[in-house]
Amino acid sequence: MSVRLTMIALWAIGCTASAPAGSEPAAKPVVKPVAQPSIAPDKPERQLVSMATRWAAIDPGERAQIVVELEPIKGWHIYWHNPGDSGLPTSFEVTQNGQPIGHRVRMPSPKRKVSAGSIVSYGFEGSTLFFVEPTAPQTEQDLELEAVWLACAETCVKGSKKVRIAALAKSQSAPEAGDLRAWNQLPGLRPTRWSQTSKGLVFEAPAGSTVTLYPHTELHRRLDGHALSYCIKNRCELPLKVLVDNTPDQKLWATLSVSTAGRLETFETDLLKGMSP
Amino acid sequence: MRFFVVSLSLCLAFPAQAAPPILAHCGGCGTGDTAAKSDHMHNKKASVGHTAPSFKLKDMNGKTHSLAQYKGKTVVLEWFNPECPFVVSAHGKGGVLEKMAKTVTSKDTVWLAINSGAKGRQGHSKSVNQSAAKKWKMNHPILVDADGQVGKAYGAKTTPHMFVIDAKGKLAYKGSPDNAPSGRKGSSYKAHLSDALTDLAAGKRVRTSSTSPWGCSVKYAR
């Protein structure tokens, strides 16, 4: 089997558990990688954060996939889609012929930082791959992708960069192994069972494991950004106030990392969907 | 990696921290020692619908301001760092805070900026604050909270983080000035702070009383 076919198969398998990093994860997977674009940055690289488009796939009528690498310089960081108590989400805008194109962005699970004043941040240091998936772009035309970030150390500096992704005919090239590995490590989508007790909302992973919870924006707001981690060993307990003011279609997303005997599983889950009385 | 190490060490450090002393300038923070036990407790105290933590702070000119002296008025607190790009943008031309303080300040409404930046950290120096106040034509005082105790009592996380206290001394709003941290006002734009002040002025309950703040982290003492 060729490398390309293997890669497609792996992507297809991985897609079944995929979810976006935005506030509304979707179960529907993506794309078969078919094209290798050329990238033409329209501005010189910024000093604090370098940006490179490593690979893109465009499948007619389907989602495309663009793999973007952002790398802040040493000592600086950029933010997850829920930046936490401060900062700004790293965001992307995709246009074609000047018109915005719907897309979702998938991010790896972040690192959590608690600064003086119990200020909680979620972000990334070093090279980080973001997977931007425009919906149904015209494959015969160029795409423009703009990344917007806030880079912070002691101070913060807003930055952005726009690149052009040329429409291409089909190509035999494939993503590098590192890209594929990063893609496979993206949080999947998984239902979890949370129990409501008199004290809180409880989730328990298998005994012996360690759970870390990264709240998405709405859950973070309801937690009021406390520096508490809410999870000890294999058990997470959230205060009942997170359930206040729920609407019938309310969703409370979180990313959970469960580490068991050196094996790490990361997935996104809607707390309300998995709740039991 | 460094990010993670710092995170881990801070995570481990926080639970073990000794409870800070009662705030000397925060007499109304709560009902006794429990009011200042931890940041977690502070967050509980500065919650919407409850009495706002009182304070007494000096402004850049050495004049003392206390929350108590403004009893009977609506008080807007703006956490401030003149070197934070979000604050620069918010106070600059077309920014959400460019004119708001002047617009809302009246015999019934007071606007106070509070700088909780520690000595040596970004935006702390008197000259930088005075220069910004002049540049942005700020007529309201900038209060100095270098030890960060008032900021922590309110749970101020960002600059600008906004708090509105009603005439009865209860916290009526906390959060962001609006929902456009990047300054781009799209079709879903919401002027949270302005809306809250409008509701209060009309004698109504603030409809959206808590929003997520955006901006730079407050530069508390490390």
- DSSP-derived secondary structure for chain B: -HHHHHHHHHHHHHHHPPPPPPPTT-TTSSSSGGGGS-HHHHHHHS-TTSBPPP-EEEETTS-EEESGGGTTSEEEEEE--TTSHHHHHHHSTT-TTTTHHHHH-SSSEEEEEEE-PPTTSTT--HHHHHHHHHHTT--S-EEE-TT-HHHHHHT--EET-EEEE-TTSBEEEEE-S-S-TTS---TT---HHHHHHHHHHTTPPPSS-B----BEEP----
Q: What are phi and psi of A61, to 5 degrees?
A: 75, -5
Our CA dihedral for B111, B79, B83, A110, rounded to 10 degrees, sits at -150
Given the structure tokens 């619908």, which residue do they identify? B49
Per residue of chain A (277 residues), what is the pLDDT tens digit? 333 333 333 333 333 333 334 444 444 334 444 343 333 333 444 479 999 988 787 766 667 788 999 999 999 999 999 999 999 999 999 998 889 989 999 999 999 999 998 899 999 999 999 999 988 667 677 889 999 999 999 888 889 999 988 765 444 356 788 888 898 899 999 999 999 999 899 999 999 999 999 999 999 988 876 667 799 999 999 999 899 888 888 999 999 999 999 899 999 999 988 766 5
Q: Which of B122, B181, B217 is nearest residue A115 as measured by Cβ atoms?
A: B217
Please give the pLDDT value at position A1. Answer: 36
Residue B63, burial from CB neighbour count under 10 angstroms (0-12, 13-18, 19+): exposed
Query: Is A111–B156 a contact, with Cβ atoms under 8 angstroms apart?
Result: no
Q: Is the dihedral of CA B32, B34, B38, B40 positive or negative?
A: negative
Q: Give me the mean pLDDT over the B185-202 stretch.
A: 94
Q: Give me the mean pLDDT over the B173-201 stretch.
A: 93
Q: Helix, strand, coil proportions of chain A in percent (round to 5)?
A: 10, 45, 45
Using CA coordinates, name the residue in chain A closest to B47: A224
Angle between helices A3-15 and A177-184 (to 10 degrees): 20
Whole-number average pLDDT of chain B: 83
Strand order in the sheet with A99-100: A39-41, A156-165, A143-152, A91-96, A99-100
Q: Give me the mean pLDDT over the B125-152 stretch.
A: 97
A154 neighbourhood in chain B, CB within 8 Å: 121-122, 219
Residue of A74, A79, A81, A86 to mutate, interface with B, max B Cβ within 10 Å: A86
- The pLDDT of residue B26 is above 90: no
- The pLDDT of residue B182 is above 90: no
Q: Give me the mean pLDDT over the B39-59 stretch.
A: 77
DSSP designation for A243: G
Q: Would you call A206 helix, strand, or coil by DSSP?
A: coil
Query: Is B39–A114 a contact, with Cβ atoms under 8 angstroms apart?
Result: no
Please give the pLDDT value at position A276. Answer: 60
Contact predicate A188/A267, CB 8 Å: yes
Find the chain A residues whose C-beta atoms sit closer than 8 A to any C-beta of B: 75, 77, 85-88, 111-119, 121, 123, 125-126, 148, 152, 154-158, 217, 220-221, 224-229
Sequence-distant (6+) residues with CB within 8 A of A93 are: A100, A145, A146, A148
Q: Give me the mean pLDDT over the B140-147 stretch.
A: 98
In angstroms, the separation between the Cα of residue A15 and the nearest Cα of chain B is 29
Structure tokens at B24: 């000397």
CA nearest neighbour of B67 among B2, B153, B1, B127 = B153
Query: In this structure, how many other beta carbons lie within 10 angstroms of the beta carbon of residue A38?
Result: 12
Given the structure tokens 């012929």, which residue do they identify? A97
Using CA coordinates, name the residue in chain A closest to B217: A86
Given the structure tokens 């506030």, which residue do they identify? A23
Q: Which is more confidently placed, B29 or B211?
A: B211
Looking at this predicted complex, what is its ipTM?
0.73
Q: Which helix (H) or strand (E) holds A112?
A: strand A111-115
Residue of A73, A224, A242 to mutate, interface with B, max B Cβ within 10 Å: A224
Peptide bond into A187 cis (omega under 30): no
pLDDT in tens, B68-92: 999 999 999 999 999 999 999 999 9
Question: pTM score, two decimals?
Answer: 0.78
Sequence-distant (6+) residues with CB within 8 A of B98 are: B90, B91, B92, B136
CA nearest neighbour of A140 among A35, A42, A52 = A35
| Distance separating alpha carbons of residues A33 and A11, to the nearest angstrom | 9
| Distance separating alpha carbons of residues A146 and B31, to the nearest angstrom | 51
Please give the pLDDT value at position A227. Answer: 66
Q: Which is more confidently placed, A198 or B46?
A: A198
Query: Is B214–A88 a contact, with Cβ atoms under 8 angstroms apart?
Result: yes
In angstroms, the separation between the Cα of residue A260 and the nearest Cα of chain B is 19
Query: Is B39–A117 a contact, with Cβ atoms under 8 angstroms apart?
Result: yes
